[in-house]
Each structure stands twice: as structure tokens, then as C-alpha cells.
Amino acid sequence: MPRKTLVGTVVSDKMEKTIVVSVTRTHIHPFYGKTIKTTKKYHADDPDAQAGIGDTVEIEECRPISKLKKFRLLRVLKKDVYAEEIAETPELVEDDLGGDR
């Protein structure tokens, strides 16, 4: 049986070797026929810390690694350039203020 693969966006990378991926799927309501967007978060194993916040990644189902981690990172599909610029901003702001206050 093939393993389930999902594509989503990284919403957190604060844990060591773990990322949280938000996967959005659309489906049609069985009675009303309206298209519904559903979002679910998955914890995935990222041992090399390849993915960052905002990156689009592909994760694959695997054996349970811990209580919450049942997926592992396959590959980073698209890096988020904007998130890297935000990470550099606090250092620049501190330099402009002239040290400690």
C-alpha cells in the first residue's frame, strides 16, 4: 500500500528536528453542495532543519516517531524569501537605535 503524501505550509519550526505543517484541503459538503476549505496541522520529522516558516513542503506518512510525529519531511518545494527578511529585521532595528536603552 502506498504511503500518503501531503503538501502544505510550515507554520512552526521552533522545535528541534520537528516542523508543524498546515495542510489545506477543499471538499464539497454532502448535503448543501458548498465547497468547504478545511485546514489541519501535522507534526513532521525534519532532522536536518531544512524547512523554515512559510516554506511549502511535501511530507510523507511513516511509522510513529513520537506521540505526535507520524510524518517525515520529503522535500522542500518552495522556500519563503519573505520570512528570511523578517528574521533579519530585529538586528537592524537595534543597530539604528544606538545600542542598549
Mean pLDDT by groups of 10 residues along the chain of 101 residues: 94 96 97 97 96 96 96 95 67 60 54
CB of 72 closer than 8 Å to CB of 63: no
Its pTM stands at: 0.78
Backbone angles phi, psi at 93, to 5 degrees: -65, -40
**Residue-range domain boundaries for the chain:** 5-97
CB of 71 closer than 8 Å to CB of 21: yes
Residue 7's nearest CA partner among 76, 80, 84 is 76
| pLDDT value for 84 | 63
Look up the CATH superfamily of 5-97.
Answer: Nucleic acid-binding proteins (2.40.50.140)
| pLDDT value for 46 | 96
| pLDDT value for 94 | 59
